[in-house]
């Protein structure tokens, strides 16, 4: 799929190579400040992905994303983190098979593109 994603957090489950092999363009960011800069510099990305390895980081990413864009925010749950997960547009539980979460991301990106075109 031709979509631009922003990925923030530690990729302990090696999702970046899966996203790249599925045809996504992925920018790996390290901080909310980098997310702020990326959102200012880019046309709206198709989705923002964050891992739950750091609950504070996930919360900060959600706050920055919501204040600066309408881009969907996806949470990859890597540890028992569930704080505020209802605020995310998509929550991918730990151990979800890649084919499942790739399809979920594709559907969310398409839905967001349709909504933005209206």
The per-residue pLDDT for range 55-64, each reduced to its tens digit, is 888 899 999 9
In this predicted structure, the answer to whether residue 1 has a pLDDT above a threshold of 70 is no
Mean pLDDT for 65-91 is: 84
Distance between CA atoms of 90 and 92, rounded to whole angstroms? Answer: 6
Centre a 10 Å sphere on the Cβ of residue 30 and count the other Cβ atoms it contains. Answer: 11
Lowest mean pLDDT across 17-26, 27-36, 72-81: 72-81
pLDDT of residue 89: 95
Q: Which CATH number goes with the domain that contains 70?
A: 3.40.50.2300
Distance between CA atoms of 117 and 27, rounded to whole angstroms? Answer: 24
Number of domains composing the chain: 1
Q: For residues 88 and 62, is the Cβ–Cβ distance under 8 A?
A: yes
Instruction: Domain of residue 54: give its range.
Output: 4-117
Distance between CA atoms of 29 and 95, rounded to whole angstroms? Answer: 23
Task: Record the pTM.
Answer: 0.92
- H-run or E-run covering 40: helix 32-41
């Amino acid at each position: 799929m031709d979509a631009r994603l922003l990925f923030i957090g530690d990729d302990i489950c090696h999702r970046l190579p899966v996203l790249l092999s599925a045809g996504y363009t992925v920018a790996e960011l390290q901080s909310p400040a980098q997310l702020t800069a990326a959102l200012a510099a880019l046309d709206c990305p198709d989705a923002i992905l964050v891992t739950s390895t750091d609950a504070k980081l996930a919360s900060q990413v959600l706050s920055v994303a919501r204040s600066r864009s309408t881009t969907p925010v996806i949470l990859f749950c890597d540890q028992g983190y569930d704080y505020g997960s209802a605020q995310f547009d998509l929550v991918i539980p730990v151990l979800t098979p890649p084919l499942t979460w790739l399809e979920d991301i594709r559907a969310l990106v398409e839905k967001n593109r349709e909504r933005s075109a209206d």
